[in-house]
């Protein structure tokens, strides 16, 4: 059986290139809402992050997310993303077992 190369995306927090399935998509929809998109199918502008709160905190510090979405991101949005990321991480680790 031949190995197929999975699509690779870059985490905007740590800059690591990873299999798309190992990253979580962050999306900014046309209403300007920013949220995590575990399905990877939401419409809007997307960026990718590791399932790791420290990567989210890194891009919070460097404003990388704000830059890739070209908008301001308020603290409460980051707090919401962080909470959602923890939840998704938990769900993903349960699914992996
Ligand atoms: Zn990362």
How far, CA to CA in Å, does 71 sit from each of 33, 45, 52, 55, 66? 11, 12, 23, 19, 5
Highest CATH level, class, for 8-96: alpha beta
Instruction: Quote the ligand 1 centre to 65 CA distance (angstroms).
Output: 12
CA of 32 to the centre of ligand 1 (A): 24
Per-residue pLDDT tens digits of the chain, which is 97 residues long: 667 777 999 999 999 999 998 999 999 999 999 999 999 999 999 999 999 999 999 999 999 999 999 999 999 999 999 999 999 888 878 877 6
Residues 6+ apart with CB under 8 A from 47: 12, 25, 26, 27, 65, 68, 69
How far away, in angstroms, is 10 Cα from ligand 1 center?
8
Residue given tokens 């998509």 in the structure block:
25
Expressed in angstroms and rounded, the spacing between residue 1 Cα and the centre of ligand 1 is 31
CA of 59 to the centre of ligand 1 (A): 9
What's the whole-model pTM score? Answer: 0.86
């Amino acid at each position: 059986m031949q190995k197929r190369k999975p699509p690779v995306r870059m985490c905007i927090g740590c800059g690591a290139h990873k299999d798309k399935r190992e990253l979580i998509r962050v999306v900014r929809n046309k209403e300007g809402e920013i949220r995590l998109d575990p399905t990877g199918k939401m419409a809007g502008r997307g960026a990718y992050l590791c399932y790791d709160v420290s990567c989210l905190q890194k891009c919070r510090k460097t404003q990388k997310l704000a830059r890739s979405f070209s908008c301001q991101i308020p603290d409460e949005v980051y707090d919401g993303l962080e909470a959602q990321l923890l939840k998704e991480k938990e769900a993903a680790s349960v699914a992996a077992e």
